[in-house]
Structure 1
Amino acid sequence: MGKKQIGLICLTAVMMGSILAGCSGNNGNTANSGNTTASNEPGVATEEKVDKVSFSYFNAAAGKDVNTNETTIGKIYEEQTGVNWKMEHLVGDENTKIGTFIASNDFPDVIVPGETIDKLVDAGAFIPLNDLIEEHGQNIKRVYEPYFNLMKDENGNINFLPFSANVGEFMPEPNITQGAFWIQRRVLKEAGYPTIKTYDQYLNLIRDYVAKHPDEDLTGYLALTSQDQFFAFTNPPMHLAGYPNDGGTIIDMETHQAMDYGDDVNSTKRYLQELNKLNDEGIFDKSSFVDTKDQYIAKLASGKVLGFFDYKWQAADGMNSLREAAVASGNHDLDYMALPIVFDENIKDQYIDPPSFVSNRGIGITVSAKDPVRIIQFFDNLLTDENQVLNQWGIKGETFEVNEEGRFHRTEEQIVKANEKAFQQSFGFTYFNYSWPMYGGGSSFPDGNSVGPGTQPEVAQMSYTEGDKELLEAYNIESFSQLFSTPDERPWYPAWSIPIPQGSEAQVFEQKRNDLQRKYFPQLVLAAPADFEKVWTEYYTEFNKLDVKALEDVISAGVAKKVEILAGQ
């Protein structure tokens, strides 16, 4: 994937602690569009002033509503630009909420949609950003220009800004923050820290532990299947087969053809049949198919669940509760470890994401926006090095430090503080480290520091507890991601970001497939083992009545387009 080096924009000022204000002459930084014009001295304003303004921001994800100027980061941005955001988050069903906006033709100033983004684009809810970017988006152009051809619709319009673009040299994460099969450390400890690679080995390890502890009311394996998170249950087959998260399809590395694996007997059927056996043995939690996400998180936090598959960012609340308890007690037996589980020994795991660009999610300015120019200027102001430091690292001397070599790091106290939910909310990390235009995961600054603290080796090492170090030593690794294979280059990644036209045969297939899997997958897991083949045949027959080729053709074409565009950078 093409890499774009970012210019050195006042990074020296960041090192000197001037993160509280924009730098002068910073590649089109629009600090003069806000409350005051930034000066060369941090926190000192010129006489030129503009009115403060509040814009409305709707995020189609759950969260706590807030005025951003009530947070530390948001207050700094208000000082830089004069802009405050009234952030509203989704309550209830996304389609219903977005449908109400569309029906009334009355929208918040900006919207961060989820799966309804195509509905908003088709309804003309977003204004094209091309001219605004050209006139007011110097930093936007610097960060996103290599991807403009992926961002444009069939009319050449850029309707929204994706959340992240790769900037600088790619830096892999030292710890696992995406998908994995997770297992409690006590299971590994009791077994003598064995090397676990295959699905059978993983499940047998859980079986053995449950058998040895019959009176502890343990859950051997738990799954997340709630409506919006059902992919956490359908995605494991592709990971077990040695592919990354490309969504409902796997992409052939040579031909670049997409294949929907929903009816694949070597991956999906094999995965479900093993869960069927677990259920018959009383080791699978049947409530997985009726629990809400909150109930799922509570079960993880209880310390009774031995293993599960999920993406770290989705299960984090439950896992973090256990980790906080472990840090307090010094006993990490109930904490989890990520394992790169595959079907067979000869399969190379691909859990770690390669460099990627997600073009079908982002933030858009709506037709109801009161001042699109000022909004795009705010977005552009976010995309300076110093403000990306602010969003991800915070303030020097408060939430991070800089050593004599210019390396960013955090003290133990700062690491603990930065992981506290209440502090993340009050400081603004909760609201600004995603769902805005930003440097993407794995990006780096010109001086070699990681944009994200999670990918900075110094922070990872400082974050490790004595329990972590014991585990790392047992497996002879320096970081947890070293158990996982280096990702192969996939210029199209992730394929799930390739747009599926609304109302197309591909979109109809996708919806029918999802409905079919929600109907049959619980039956396949909960059926008596003697009935599994019968239920699979029913599902397989119904699946193959659907027009799977329609989706595969769209994804294959999208993959080819991304490969061609990025190869030309």
Structure 2
Amino acid sequence: MVSRRQFLSGAAVLATVTVAGCAGKDDGAGGGDGAVSFTYLRPTWGPATYTKDGPFEKALEKQGKADIDVQIIPVIDYDTKVNTILASGDIPDVIWGSGPSSATWKEAQDEGAFLPIDDYLEQYPALREAVPESIWKILKDENGDTYFIPNLIWPQVPFFLCYREDLFEKAGIEPPTTVDEFAPTVAKVKSAFPEQVPFTMGYEWSAKEIATSFGVSMFSWEPSPADPDLLIPWYMKEPEVDMYFWFQDLHKRGLLDPDYGVNKEPNFADDKFKAGKSVMVISHWSSIPDATTQLRSIDKNAKVGVVSPLGELGGNRLVFPVDRGFYVSGTMEDPDGFFRFLNWTLTDGSELRRWGIRDKTFTVSEDGKEPIPDNEREKAFQGPQLEPMGFLGPFSEKLDWDITKLAFEAAKIPDRFDYVKGKFDEYCAQDYPDYRDPTVRSAVEDKKGTQLYEDYLQKVAQSTIINHDVSRDDWRKAVDKWRAAGGDQIIDEINTAQKDKSKPSYIPR
């Protein structure tokens, strides 16, 4: 029997989206009513190098009949800065946020900061159909109203443990197969290639698939070993704490990049690997074509390999299929115009949204469209200039192997597509979800959860890996203080509110 938390299977899966029109069509969002103007605030996951009024922005505005005043904030700084914006009450017309699962955003939503959108979902079926109905249901408030437009992601987003296969072969090093083999392997890499960083990763979330090899779902609530009907948070799970001290040992021995925890740029590890300055990296599974292209501009023999999940437990830490999203301000002057524009991006504007501009971001041949690798594009058409102008992509596009295959062909490594897809399947053979329902609330957590975390847990959770003085006893004491100050009330309220504690699944079957 499918529980109320399980993902319903009505969504289209792995479908190749049919483009409703071409990028040259002129019947944009404004229709006969002229252009819509709106301000737009969003985070960027790449480098904050976006330049306003670039050619892609101009093409989007011309074809979509819109005037968009976009402001971007690096994702690492976004939550802090946007909280100030929310408190000021001077909210942009369209603003990215965490949605109603966050107490901050739910409070703003309840106070009338944002526009209810159910009427627009009925008016524009392409918008409603872009998001599975099961997700729309989760996003409704207690009165049955919807305010939040989710940014959808495929729940399986493995972060591969990548390595320079060519360098491993040169040094006669075999990739590790277990957690116990990992450190000795990295030590061999360090000895063989002393001028390069042996192993790097960007930030803690990068290690979510390593955590599965310890038998846990990183940063999640899971059943207590002592009581399967009691969900406990991640900082109370012993195997996850073990992983932190395992990383501390790597760092202590000089096997983990010394820039880890110091360099706050989330892409620094990927950039270092692509520049040939590191031998191993944890990276998003889809990064391999771009990484190979950039590496081969330095070394024509470069080859990116993927280490299989470490040990029998290794797998994929599933993610809830919503990664932020956006709200429309309750005081926006022309919400109708904005939703016409948004609908256009999902219909006649689909080609521009998905592919960009012909001969700038993709080419067309007898075999169809082919993306131009990012590093081969003019700077004005590279990812950092396109990402800030993104809005909503249908769930059916979130795992499209046909598009992915084209990326491998464009990178001139078509033979590696089946290899990488096979590694993806290996990682996803075992899944580790977060057992906590994202809509379940705790009054204590909403009121003082952030402060409790900062007062008691942050000092160990964010410094254990690079602060070698932090001990397991320090971690236990921090958790005990958190529990006594209100943590136990949060645990009790979450478990009382969430009746269904079965393992969730977000994969359409």
Task: Tell me the TM-score normalized by structure 1.
Answer: 0.69
Contact 2:139–2:146 (CA under 8 A) maintained in structure 1 = yes
% identity of equivalent residues: 15
AA of the residue aligned to 1:332: A
1:261-286 alpha-carbon deviations (Å, 9 max, x no partner):
323333422x2332333334333344
**Paired position in structure 2 for 1:339:** 307
In structure 2, the CA distance between the partners of 1:244 and 1:3, relative to structure 1 (3 Å rule), is farther
Alignment of structure 1 residues 213-362 onto 2, 5 Å: 213=193, 216-225=194-203, 230-232=204-206, 235=208, 238-242=211-215, 247-250=219-222, 258-269=231-242, 271-293=243-265, 296-297=268-269, 299-300=272-273, 303-309=276-282, 311=284, 323-332=293-302, 336-342=304-310, 345-350=311-316, 353=318, 357-358=321-322, 361-362=324-325
Contact 2:213–2:312 (CA under 8 A) maintained in structure 1 = no
Contact 1:500–1:506 (CA under 8 A) maintained in structure 2 = no
**Paired position in structure 2 for 1:447:** none
Aligned: 1:59 with 2:42: yes
Q: Secondary structure at the match of 2:331?
A: coil
Deviation at 1:146, TM superposition (A): 4.5
Aligned: 1:423 with 2:381: yes
Aligned: 1:380 with 2:343: yes
Aligned: 1:161 with 2:161: no
- d(CA) in 2 for partners of 1:363, 1:282: 41
**Paired position in structure 2 for 1:50:** 33
**Paired position in structure 1 for 2:423:** 483
In structure 2, the CA distance between the partners of 1:517 and 1:71, relative to structure 1 (3 Å rule), is farther
Aligned: 1:453 with 2:403: yes
Alignment of structure 1 residues 182-201 onto 2, 5 Å: 182-190=162-170, 192=172, 194=174, 196-201=176-181
1:489-509 alpha-carbon deviations (Å, 9 max, x no partner):
97x966688146486337744
Deviation at 1:374, TM superposition (A): 1.0
Deviation at 1:66, TM superposition (A): 5.4
**Paired position in structure 1 for 2:370:** 410
Contact 1:238–1:261 (CA under 8 A) maintained in structure 2 = no
Deviation at 1:402, TM superposition (A): 6.3
**Paired position in structure 2 for 1:3:** 10
**Paired position in structure 1 for 2:114:** 126
Deviation at 1:423, TM superposition (A): 1.7
Deviation at 1:139, TM superposition (A): 1.2
Q: Root-mean-square deviation (CA), in Å?
A: 4.7
In structure 2, the CA distance between the partners of 1:218 and 1:424, relative to structure 1 (3 Å rule), is closer
- d(CA) in 1 for partners of 2:315, 2:181: 15
AA of the residue aligned to 1:278: L
Deviation at 1:129, TM superposition (A): 0.7
Alignment of structure 1 residues 548-563 onto 2, 5 Å: 550-551=490-491, 554=494, 560=500
Q: Secondary structure at the match of 2:255?
A: coil
1:99-146 alpha-carbon deviations (Å, 9 max, x no partner):
443344222111012575345324421111112322x32211222345
Structure 2 spans left out of the alignment, 5+ residues:
1-6
Contact 1:303–1:322 (CA under 8 A) maintained in structure 2 = no
Greater relative contact order, per chain length (Cα 8 Å cut-off, separation 6+): 2
AA of the residue aligned to 1:424: Q
Deviation at 1:480, TM superposition (A): 1.6
- d(CA) in 1 for partners of 2:189, 2:460: 30
Contact 2:223–2:229 (CA under 8 A) maintained in structure 1 = yes
**Paired position in structure 2 for 1:520:** 460
**Paired position in structure 1 for 2:4:** none
Deviates more, 1:203-212 or 1:517-526: 517-526
Deviation at 1:57, TM superposition (A): 0.5
Aligned: 1:108 with 2:115: no
**Paired position in structure 2 for 1:367:** 330
Deviation at 1:479, TM superposition (A): 2.5
- d(CA) in 2 for partners of 1:340, 1:512: 38
AA of the residue aligned to 1:102: L
Deviates more, 1:271-280 or 1:49-58: 271-280
Aligned: 1:391 with 2:353: yes
In structure 2, the CA distance between the partners of 1:391 and 1:483, relative to structure 1 (3 Å rule), is same
Contact 1:139–1:383 (CA under 8 A) maintained in structure 2 = yes
1:188-243 alpha-carbon deviations (Å, 9 max, x no partner):
32454635331222221111122344xx3443344445xxxx5446x466332356
- d(CA) in 1 for partners of 2:460, 2:213: 20
Contact 1:59–1:90 (CA under 8 A) maintained in structure 2 = yes
AA of the residue aligned to 1:482: G
Task: Tell me the TM-score normalized by structure 2.
Answer: 0.76
**Paired position in structure 2 for 1:43:** none
- d(CA) in 2 for partners of 1:489, 1:280: 31
- The one of 192, 200, 206 equivalent to 2:186 is 206
Deviation at 1:159, TM superposition (A): 0.9
Structure 1 spans left out of the alignment, 5+ residues:
23-30, 37-48, 445-449
- The one of 458, 470, 487 equivalent to 1:547 is 487
- The one of 394, 419, 425 equivalent to 1:439 is 394
